[in-house]
A = this chain, B = another copy of it.
Amino acid sequence: MIKYDKQHELDSVNGALAIRPTVEKVVDEICDRGYDLICFMGIGGTWASSLQVESHIKELSDLPVLVENAGQFNAMGNKRITDKSVVVFSSVSGNTAEMVVAMETLKARGVTTIGFVDVSDAPLAKDATYCITYPENEQLKFFMVADRFMKNAGQFPQYDEYYAQLDAHLAEALVSVAEASDEFACHFAQEHHDDQMHYFVGAGEQYGSTYSYAMCYWEEQHWLRTKSIHAAEFFHGMLEVVDRDTNVTVFLGEDAERPLAERVARFLPRVCARYTLIDSKDYELEGISPEYRGYLSHLVTHQVTNRIDVHIERINCHPMEIRRYYRQLKY
């Protein structure tokens, strides 16, 4: 496979899972003190990851969780975030402008913050109450935090069994997905690398990744136009612009909102000849129990989209690193 380092992928996921004792220590300390709110805060891709973990928590528990966009927080504030609240965030660079500003407010308010910052001496790393430094794997980090909060609240009793399976099998399983999807991904890229417009539909944990894939990958990195839409909303407006030649991809996961995506998947063939389904169910996850697959299906489809990206990049001769405006201009 082009642009794929299997050993790096295995090490990356296993390394992320290995930070779990640190995550547990932090969350356990906070639970011992008590908290009134768990807020996942981000912007762009990290905001999308926050939506994913919010969906996961909502499916399984009644924990008081909310997602806050760092840019909106700086403009409007959020009076519900108090000195008893926990704010969880992630920043690869550790200097995301909006998050740096937000952090000043959070510090002044005495809010407890858990930061996953990939650069250990970056401003956000220094300012977080708890900083955990490990590269990539943002979703896995957020979900480990969430699962520990739910376990401590007595609402995720499967915690130990589930993580034993991840520790033993997740990394290999995800590599297998990448390998199994590469041929499809190459074909998909050939079909869609020059789309004038591409619609992406998802639900549940897949919604955050659908939004992020459309905006942070196709728009930002491939300069291809997209719209993402929640499957529940598809039938309340967007369907009217779908015709034979409309490019639509539906992501199907295995959590409680799967039926919403399935409804779109059933509708499309009647009106559209350019639709694609990317379904986590199509991929084996050896060693993972069926009842846990729903917690992971966004990681599965992400393996597939990663392979699509590699092929689009190659066909379009458009390196994914380049930006037209982002960090090229001051604005």
Contact = CB atoms under 8 A, between A and B. Distances in A.
Interface string A77-102: 11110000000000000000010000
Contact of A203 (B66, B70, B75, B235): B75
Contact of A59 (B44, B64, B76, B226): B76
A196 interface: yes
A227 B224 contact: no
Interface centre among A64, A71, A235, A267 (most CB of B within 10 A): A71
Contacts of A70: 232
B75 A260 contact: yes
User: How many monomers of this protein are in the complex?
Assistant: 2
Given A72-B203, A325-B271, A43 B232 contact: yes
A236 B239 CA distance: 26
A312 interface: no
Interface in A224-268: 224-227, 229-233, 235-242, 255-260, 263, 266-267
Interface of A: 43-45, 47, 55, 58-59, 61-62, 64, 66, 69-72, 75-80, 98, 196-197, 203-204, 215-216, 219-221, 223-227, 229-233, 235-242, 255-260, 263, 266-267, 270-271, 323-326, 329, 331
30 contacts: A43-B233, A43-B236, A45-B237, A47-B233, A47-B236, A55-B76, A59-B76, A62-B80, A69-B232, A71-B260, A72-B232, A75-B204, A75-B257, A75-B258, A75-B259, A75-B260, A76-B257, A197-B197, A215-B233, A215-B238, A219-B237, A219-B238, A220-B237, A235-B331, A240-B324, A240-B325, A242-B325, A263-B331, A267-B331, A270-B331
